[in-house]
Amino acid sequence: MSPRSPRRALWLGLLLACGACGVGGAAPDYTAEELEAAKAQLRDHARLRTFEAGLPFGEEWVARVPDDAELRALYARQLAGWGLFRELHAQADRILSEDEDDPWGLYVRALAYLAEREYSAASEPSLGAWEASPRPEFLAAHIESIRGRGAEHLLALFSTLDSATLAAPEVLAIRAEIEFQARYELGDPTWADSSLASYAELRARWPDHVDGYLRPAENLFMANRPEEALPLVERTLALAPGSADARSLHWRILAGSSLLSAEQRRPAVEAGMAEFVDAAPETVRGLYAMAEAYRRLGDGMKAAELETRVVERAPHSLRATLISQNEYQEAGDTMVRLYREEGRDSPAFLAQLEVVRDAVDRYLARPIYADRYRASAYTILFEALNSMDPVPAEPLAEAVRGFATYERAHPVNAFGIGAAAMVDHTPYAREAAEIARSGLQTVVDAVAMDRHLFRTEGEFEEQLRFQLSRVYDAMGWGYFKAGRIEDGRHVLERALALEGRNREARYHLGQVYEHFADESEKSGDAEAAVEWLDRAEDSYIAGLGSARVGENPSQAAIEALYERRNGSRNGIEDYLATLDERDQIRRRERILESRVEAVGTYEPFRLPRLDGSLVDSADLEGRIGVLHFWGTWCGPCIVEMPEYQKFDLRYRDDPDVRVVSISNDASREVVEEYFARNGFDFQVLMDDGYVQRAGIGGWPTTWFVDRDGYVQFVKVGNTSKLDEEFSWRVEAIREAADGH
């Protein structure tokens, strides 16, 4: 139901009955019938996606009837077709200033956020519009806003809708899109067929609605099925010859597939352009679409002519901004190509860095439609500046500030990599640390937006920990460099607690430990200095082991540390050759020292396998037991699963050892699907509340139990070299029992 009061509704009815009388009683220049016809025509433009003609038509009618919320919303749909989110917000402001709960205004606000790709922000207004007035277009906007929740969730939502709502063209179209999304998210190709069937239903029910033709055509073309896509686009063009959306896809198919010979492509595209010019008014959107087509044909000169017309006609427009981006994006593409082909020290690559810098500077000095279009410019500028030798400090600092201000698609790059570079190359370490700290929630939000892409909660958590670790590393390194030594140490240790394979954090923490060694030497505490240097060495060795790919800062650091401790580089080659062995020895010593001092028994259990058969803890009596608690929702658990599979295989046929995995997942199906996808086959028991009774407080947790049922070792948290380190614990228990 509409939120308007009966009195307000009566007032609006009287206003419409008198022809929307103007100020001072001036007679309107339209009739009620003409207004309804205008609304119908705007709906037709949306249905046909002829936004080039719909936008000026809507502008004319909104100027004539400024207080009709429905008319403004129908005009806003044309703006949405252009992607003009600033103008959409202005229309929403106008409607909602009269009534903050007006469903048309809420719908337009949602359209604005969707055009801006701020999907979570669009959820509330779109839901409010749908609840106030259950119109199909409101529901479609809401479903679009929550696509991040995943196809499975959305498909369940469709099952709750009545048949009339499901048959609406807007809902049919979005359902087909979700089914197409499910094909990839759920790994089931049959959903692509379901999507095509839904589009076929849309065409059957609404044969004059272009979404039934255009959207499946685009999906088919993306799936490399142009021969099936082309007839659908041609049907669209018969309905809407003046649609730039339909023309653009048609030109992409003609120019980018093997349906035509190379000689036939340009004449075919240009023939379509001539038809488009005849069918639609000239707009910057249409000119931009034709320029893109010429670029695909390889005619940069013709494309540039059309782009110049766009910029001259509307220098502050969205299309002018997109055109202005081309220069620095092409320069950036060349930079990446030269790096891959010739390396970072090649003269061509180094010269291209200045080309990128100049192109970005020119872009940022021009009118820009909205701040979000600054993000990629600062990203490319940062990459260029950070590759220079020497790195220019002030320009880099400005680039990182802009990078962090505007980047939202991949914020870990700004708040992690960018902030760390600012620490390394500028005098603004403290500011860089604060930039990193300010981005923590942004990173969490960005990863959460892609939650539906992860198969399990564990995989989602793994990615979240990975990205947060990079940001904590930049923050801790900045604090250390700014003189907040203890803060830096604790934050870097936090980075490694989140992700032990973070080699930059390993290097940075090693530098912190060397600082403590310096302080100990100054105070005359030689023993403490040696301990700190040992810790630095361990950190560098772990950093080398975490990723021996590409440049690794721990390599130079450990060589410098060797020279520091030995007074020269004599013998360094032999030392470096034994690093893995030294790392192994130290890790084993620490593990054996971690044996539980006050050993005790554990809570007995009787738990089901995946097949339902029961396993009793009494079966472990007389054997060495390994009880491993995990779940697919646990990121650190997921990280170590391949190593756990190796460990299980090592002892699977050992009659003296029993390895038991206990999953805390909600259902067997979740575990079975995870196993099938990853090829795991170790034995799993399903928790029935046992982990709570047993007092498990961290994930993963592993108990190592002797033959008498006493827990000798407890490991909480994941292990990068699980097979090796778990085996040391098992063999230590075996040796102790055998009297060795």
Q: Which domain holds residue 636?
A: 606-737
Q: 3-class DSSP state for residue 22?
A: coil
DSSP state of 28: P
Residue 712 lies in a domain: yes
The whole-number pLDDT of residue 500 equals 85
Distance CA 240, CA 250 (A): 12
Distance CA 650, CA 682 (A): 11
Distance CA 246, CA 386 (A): 42
Choose between 676 and 9: higher pLDDT: 676
Distance CA 98, CA 66 (A): 12
What total of structural domains would you count in the chain?
3
Strand pairing partners for 716?
701
Judge contact between 94 and 75, C-beta under 8 A. no
Q: Which of the four pLDDT bands, split at 50, 70 and 90, describes residue 148?
A: confident
Percentage of the chain exceeding pLDDT 90: 73
User: 84-106: per-residue pLDDT in tens?
Assistant: 999 999 999 999 999 999 999 99
Q: Would the CA dihedral through 614, 618, 622, 624 be positive or negative?
A: positive
Residue 615 lies in a domain: yes
The whole-number pLDDT of residue 550 equals 52
Q: 3-class DSSP state for residue 608?
A: strand
Distance CA 28, CA 545 (A): 78
User: 178-194: per-residue pLDDT in tens?
Assistant: 999 888 777 788 998 99
The whole-number pLDDT of residue 433 equals 98
Residue 616 lies in a domain: yes
Distance CA 497, CA 495 (A): 5
The whole-number pLDDT of residue 28 equals 83
Q: Which of the four pLDDT bands, split at 50, 70 and 90, describes residue 455?
A: low
> CA geometry: angle at 505 spanning 500 and 507, to 5°?
115
pLDDT for residue 450 is more than 80:
no
DSSP state of 416: I
Q: Determine the length of the chain.
A: 740
pLDDT for residue 702 is more than 60:
yes
Could you tell me the maximum CA-CA distance found in the chain, to the nearest angstrom?
A: 107
Judge contact between 655 and 624, C-beta under 8 A. no
Distance CA 492, CA 494 (A): 5
pLDDT for residue 2 is more than 80:
no
The whole-number pLDDT of residue 547 equals 43
- Residue at a domain's end among 145, 178, 201: 145
**DSSP H/E element including 136:** helix 136-145
Sheet holding 711-716, edge to edge: 684-686, 657-663, 624-630, 701-705, 711-716
Q: Which of the four pLDDT bands, split at 50, 70 and 90, describes residue 670?
A: confident
Residue 650 lies in a domain: yes
Distance CA 734, CA 692 (A): 29
Residue 179 lies in a domain: no
Neighbours of 615 (CB within 10 A): 17
Q: Per-residue pLDDT averaged across 12-26, rounded? A: 44
pLDDT for residue 133 is more than 90:
yes
User: 457-499: per-residue pLDDT in tens?
Assistant: 777 888 899 999 999 999 999 999 999 999 999 999 999 999 8
* Phi and psi angles of residue 257, each rounded to the nearest 5 degrees, phi first: -135, 175
Q: Per-residue pLDDT averaged across 724-737, rounded? A: 92
Residue 301 lies in a domain: no
The whole-number pLDDT of residue 526 equals 94
The CATH number of residue 46's host domain is: 1.25.40.10
DSSP strands (E only) in 521-675? 606-608, 614-616, 624-630, 657-663
Q: 3-class DSSP state for residue 702?
A: strand
Token code pair at residue 649: 């295989």
pTM: 0.73
Closest CA relative to residue 622, chosen from 706, 703, 718, 691: 706
The whole-number pLDDT of residue 646 equals 94
* Average per-residue pLDDT for the chain: 90
CB neighbours of 410 closer than 8 A, spacing ≥ 6?
Answer: 446
Residue 108 lies in a domain: yes
Q: Which of the four pLDDT bands, split at 50, 70 and 90, describes residue 635?
A: confident
**Which residue is it, tokens 């309804």?**
36
* Phi and psi angles of residue 672, each rounded to the nearest 5 degrees, phi first: -60, -40
Token code pair at residue 47: 């249905």
**Which residue is it, tokens 């407890």?**
714
Neighbours of 667 (CB within 10 A): 10
pLDDT for residue 13 is more than 90:
no
**DSSP H/E element including 686:** strand 684-686
- Residue at a domain's end among 110, 126, 145: 145
User: 364-408: per-residue pLDDT in tens?
Assistant: 999 999 999 999 999 999 999 999 999 999 999 999 999 999 998
Angle between the 526-546 and 503-522 helix axes, to the nearest 10 degrees?
170
Token code pair at residue 427: 């005098």
Distance CA 381, CA 401 (A): 12
Distance CA 184, CA 173 (A): 18
User: 493-508: per-residue pLDDT in tens?
Assistant: 999 999 888 999 999 9
pLDDT for residue 688 is more than 90:
no
Residue 643 lies in a domain: yes
Which of 320-334, 526-540, 571-585 has the least mean pLDDT?
571-585
Which of 12-16, 157-161, 270-274, 490-494 has the least mean pLDDT?
12-16
The whole-number pLDDT of residue 26 equals 67
* Phi and psi angles of residue 712, each rounded to the nearest 5 degrees, phi first: -95, -30
Q: Per-residue pLDDT averaged across 318-342, rounded? A: 92
pLDDT for residue 79 is more than 90:
yes
Pairing of strands 701-705, 624-630: antiparallel
The whole-number pLDDT of residue 22 equals 44
Pairing of strands 606-608, 614-616: antiparallel
- Residue at a domain's end among 98, 125, 145: 145
